[in-house]
Chain A
């Protein structure tokens, strides 16, 4: 599978790396296919690149790395859409916004990316949680105070 991207030029990835987002992501309903590939050597950060929209790519990481007790509730409609039957098949990731200064990196806690490793279906959920924000500073609690007790 060859994909044209604005950042990486043409890339080639195995067909089975494709993840289908039946509803796209919020604001980009046309972006229905994404591929994931490592963006750091340690594999912690991944690019989530759209196969439909060249310039659409997000840096994501596992939600638990940002907030160890981050939790979402996957309702019946989400489970059906993802064909999710076992919680352990779900990967919950957050989109990061990395600016000029990496220390200011924020994570979008209200719009997590949930993917089913088994069915290779994904979606962006829209959460309602007053404790979470779309621009959560991931290093704000390095001092050990803010958000240390947040759960969904």
Chain B
């Protein structure tokens, strides 16, 4: 991994189109500004990882739920007052 030191308000370029700026530094928190083309998606890694893990769990867990069970779930979801 390339490691660079940057001060507040300094920027890193990745290729021609992606700019990463250090907006603020407070204690152990760094605020980072990102300028990237709309086609590049930027996510906090922990959220991305959580969704990936949940996708894998959801598809592993599901055999074929029986219709009676799904009927029960549907009935609960439609319960008035929800």
Are B55's CB and A26's CB within 8 A?
yes
Are A95's CB and B77's CB within 8 A?
no
Interface stretch among A11-19, A83-91, A103-111, A114-122? A103-111
Known: A45-B74, A138-B77. A59 touches B55 (CB 8 A): no
Are B72's CB and A102's CB within 8 A?
yes
Are A128's CB and B47's CB within 8 A?
yes
Chain B interface category by residue count: 35 or more
With an 8 A cutoff between CB atoms, is B62 at the interface?
A: yes
Contact of A68 among B57, B69, B82 (CB under 8 A): B82
CA distance A118 to B15 in the complex (A): 35
Q: Which residues of B contact A134 (CB under 8 A)?
A: 50-51, 53-54
Are B43's CB and A126's CB within 8 A?
yes
Number of A-B contacts (CB under 8 A): 110
Are B74's CB and A142's CB within 8 A?
no
Number of interface residues of A (CB under 8 A): 47
The residues of A with any CB-CB pair to B shorter than 8 Å are: 7-8, 23, 25-28, 39-42, 44-45, 55-59, 61, 65-66, 68, 76-77, 80, 95-99, 102-103, 105, 108, 110-111, 124, 126-128, 134-135, 138-139, 141-142, 144
The residues of B with any CB-CB pair to A shorter than 8 Å are: 38-39, 41, 43-44, 47-48, 50-59, 61-65, 67, 69-74, 76-79, 81-82
